[in-house]
A = this chain, B = another copy of it.
Amino acid sequence: MGYSGDSAGRAARSKRADARRNEETLLDAAAAVFVASGVEAPVRDIAAKAGVGMGTIYRHFPTRADLIVAVYRHQVEACAEAGPALLATSETPHAALARWIDLFVDFLVTKHGLAAVLQSDNTGFETLHSYFLDRLLPVCAELLDAAAAAGEIGSDVEAYQLMRGVGNLCIGAEHDPRYDARRLVGLLIAGLHRRTGPRGCDG
């Protein structure tokens, strides 16, 4: 017993290592294709880029949502983890919220087509929706609650709604120089504030 490697164990471990390597290749390829052609790029293209068969992609990621989640998991995690930190280091909870939302926007606007897919009512993206919501909603809610507790904002805006709104504002931002999602999101967050824009009522 014990974990020590008999040959079968070694084989198993090496196979697992292989699989992981394989999966990473896959994710890199998918990320590259997503950048080039958007998150709805044909499965075939991703498989080709990764140098694997399409079946392999379906095996690892049964739905497109699974693949997208996997591709962006690290960044989503980082974003989620940034929330408490910002709350700790910002002057006010509202400022923390604004900064955190900015991170989210930065993430979304660089992911070709992701914002749109995030709003899609298409069945089959539930996994994707769930992941983003499960992971980011509590963070957003915490920031909102803190701001509400500080009296900076009312307590009547749901985190869910805010996140969807911000996500929506990011749609199509990549390709229109006359459209600045960050700016609009800034206005939205400012509008949340009880009194004024970010710099206060008395200027």
Contacts and interface: CB of A to CB of B under 8 A. Distances in A.
Interface of A: 116, 119-121, 157-158, 160-162, 164-165, 168-172, 175-176, 178-181, 183-184, 186-197, 201, 203
Given A195-B196, A196-B194, A201-B196, A169 B180 contact: no
B188 A194 contact: no
A20 to B, nearest CB: 19
A197 B195 contact: yes
Contacts of A180: 161
Nearest to A116: B116
B179 A164 contact: yes
A109 to B, nearest CB: 12
A179 B118 CA distance: 13
A160 B191 CA distance: 19
A147 to B, nearest CB: 13
Contacts of A175: 121
A193 B184 contact: no
Nearest to A115: B168
26 contacts: A119-B171, A121-B176, A157-B187, A158-B178, A160-B178, A160-B179, A161-B178, A161-B180, A161-B183, A164-B176, A164-B179, A165-B169, A165-B181, A165-B184, A168-B168, A168-B169, A168-B171, A169-B169, A188-B191, A189-B191, A190-B191, A191-B192, A191-B197, A195-B201, A195-B203, A196-B201
